[in-house]
């Protein structure tokens, strides 16, 4: 059985993020030392703080287990950030990420949002192409002085 539910258990969210993003960290040689705030190394205190500041998180249930998550938050002028999209490695390629994105885009629309923005590792070409297939376009690259990568910002106008 599959279902998308709102989640606020910051320890569950942190566990999913750590497990899902460690593969990206290994691919790009990120470590706790050079990228301490990358989701592979984030701790539950940081997630709890983000939830307290308004991040809304949803989990993807597969056989009654949360195997993926996604969040969103209001930015400004009807623009929302989509954040923390993650699927556990053993559940990838089952369209879970796509379903989570569709769910969050609909939530943003329901709140009157017009634009969804995402921020990804600028050198992650596979992920960039995946987002393009979902209708996102590149708008800029932000330099991140505290991380060993820059952030590619992409957006989608929600109709």
H-type alpha helices, the chain: 10-27, 44-52, 96-110, 125-133
Residue 119: which CATH number?
3.40.630.30
Q: CA torsion sign, 34 to 40 to 45 to 50?
A: positive
Q: Output the pLDDT for position 146.
A: 86
Q: DSSP letter string over 128-148?
A: HHHHHHTT-EEEEEE--TTSS
Q: Output the pLDDT for position 43.
A: 95
Give residue 142's domain range. Answer: 2-157
Instruction: Say how many domains are in the chain.
Output: 1
pLDDT by residue for the chain (159 residues), tens only, comes to: 569 999 999 999 999 999 999 999 999 999 999 999 999 999 999 999 999 999 999 999 999 999 999 999 999 999 999 999 999 999 999 999 999 999 999 999 999 999 999 999 999 999 999 999 999 999 999 999 889 999 999 999 998
Pairing of strands 79-87, 115-121: parallel
What's the burial of 105, exposed, middle or buried (CB within 10 Å: 0-12/13-18/19+)? buried
Question: Global pTM?
Answer: 0.95
Pairing of strands 65-76, 79-87: antiparallel
Residue 51 tokens, joined = 């939830």
Q: Output the pLDDT for position 121.
A: 97
């Amino acid at each position: 059985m599959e279902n998308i539910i709102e989640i606020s258990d910051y320890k569950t969210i942190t566990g999913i993020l750590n497990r899902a993003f460690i593969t990206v960290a290994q691919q790009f040689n990120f470590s706790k030392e050079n990228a301490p705030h990358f989701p592979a190394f984030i701790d539950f205190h940081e997630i709890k703080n983000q939830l307290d500041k308004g991040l809304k998180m949803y989990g993807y249930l597969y056989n009654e287990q949360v195997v993926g998550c996604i969040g969103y938050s209001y930015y400004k002028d009807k623009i929302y950030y989509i954040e923390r999209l993650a699927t556990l490695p053993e559940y990838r390629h089952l369209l879970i990420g796509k379903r989570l994105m569709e769910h969050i885009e609909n939530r943003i629309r329901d709140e009157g949002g017009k634009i969804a923005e995402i921020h990804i590792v600028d050198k992650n070409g596979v992920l960039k192409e995946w987002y393009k297939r979902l209708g996102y376009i590149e708008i800029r690259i932000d330099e991140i002085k505290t991380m060993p990568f820059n952030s590619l910002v992409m957006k989608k106008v929600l109709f």
